[in-house]
Amino acid sequence: MTNNLNIKTIYCPRSGLPLAQITNLCASSWPVLANFSQTFLHPIYNVSLPALISKLSSQIICLENNSWKPESTAEATELSLSLSAIMYSLGCIVQDSRNPAPSLPAFPVSIGAASRVLHLASWYFNLTSQRLTFPQYHPNTVDKNLLWQNFSAYLDACFTIKDEWESGKKKLEAEESIRLSQEASKEIRDAKIKIKLDYIKVWAWIDTQISQSPKYPVGRRETLKTLFLRGNLEPENWIADDIDDLSEAVFDLCDQGNDITHFIRQRLNGIRDALNNFYGSFTLLGGIADSGKDSVLVSDSETKKEKEFFENFDNQLTEMTELPPAPERTQFATLGLYLKAQAQHNILSRRWALLQSKRA
């Protein structure tokens, strides 16, 4: 509560949001207001679990359609409130009487955890026997987690309990049945993700979470965004270390264990395959350039494809009196572009040496 002459503001003891203002009409004292304010909760904490699940599902769809960007501060707060209310409804939060500080998850934490909280709450509500209990989550000033900074690790523990519960209740009879079930589940899951998600929205989900770390300022995030969106189309601009950097950012700062991170892993694996194919071609080209063949002096064994490839280099050679200098790293924006130019210069040098020897 805050004082303003004879007016006091009452705050929700769970969320910390302001709820009402009361004017003192009887005297200058407030005899029972302190106790009263501790039971004065935000209305969302009186909403049933099914209604909260429905509300959170709608919020996730709206945010996803808007690339995970809230239209207002109120929309961001509403998402955090929904997560908090579901956690209280599940009996997962008990405020420490020694440190009853109100709390709400920060918005980046909320969008990262929203889908997992929705899945967990829906699963729990549909249990035929709800004797299962999840561990307590304790936001407080002592642990410095009033913004729920460690909430992702807590959800990992909840899903471990869920998996153990399911494995004990629903054992399949044979290993073959388990394998077929997993393959079918993965196939359905992959198809669902590909239909539901697109790269722009997924990047917005990533960016909102990694932007909280000073390791990823705006410029660095723009670079990682380009890699995520176009890495498979422009492999010459990147190296494997770039993919490792993006993987590290997602692993360290984004909520894990949901469909979106599964989609992200697939995407990064695809970009890595494109890079491997691109840089693998340099080895092939180098081998061809060293093979002793020359499209200026065509041999019968040279293939049509090789002729077409070397024709461009040989056309350059006919106009040259000397080789250009080798490319330098500082001339190129990325290491990938530099390696590409270096490979082309190496081939040109070998063709030049071969042509000079033939002329001699």
**N- to C-terminal Cα distance for the chain?**
95
pTM of this structure: 0.61
pLDDT at position 323 is: 79
pLDDT at position 38 is: 59
pLDDT at position 135 is: 87
Task: Please say whether the beta carbons of 89 and 134 come within 8 A.
Answer: no
Low-confidence ranges of the chain (pLDDT < 70): 1-5, 26-39, 95-100, 128-131, 168-197, 279-310, 333-336, 359-360
Residues near 339 by beta carbon (within 8 Å), at least 6 away in sequence: 236, 239, 279, 282
Please tell me the distance from the alpha carbon of residue 347 to that of residue 63, in angstroms, as a whole number: 51
Please tell me the distance from the alpha carbon of residue 90 to that of residue 134, in angstroms, as a whole number: 8
Residues near 113 by beta carbon (within 8 Å), at least 6 away in sequence: 83, 105, 148, 151, 152, 155, 255
**Exposed / middle / buried, residue 237 (Cβ in 10 Å: 0-12, 13-18, 19+):** buried
**Residue-wise burial string across 216-229, b where 16 or more C-beta atoms lie within 10 A, e elsewhere:** beeeebebbbbbbb
Integer CA distances (angstroms), 55 to 50, 51, 119, in order: 9, 6, 13
> Cα torsion for 265, 267, 271, 273, to the nearest 10°?
70
The pLDDT tens digits of the residues spanning 273-307 come to: 888 877 665 544 444 444 444 444 444 444 565 66
The pLDDT tens digits of the residues spanning 74-127 come to: 999 999 999 999 999 998 887 666 556 889 999 999 999 999 999 999 998 887
Query: Which ranges in the chain belong to alpha helices (H)?
Result: 33-37, 49-65, 73-89, 107-125, 151-169, 175-196, 199-210, 218-230, 240-253, 259-289, 304-318, 335-359
Task: Please say whether the beta carbons of 326 and 345 come within 8 A.
Answer: yes
Task: Please say whether the beta carbons of 102 and 16 come within 8 A.
Answer: yes
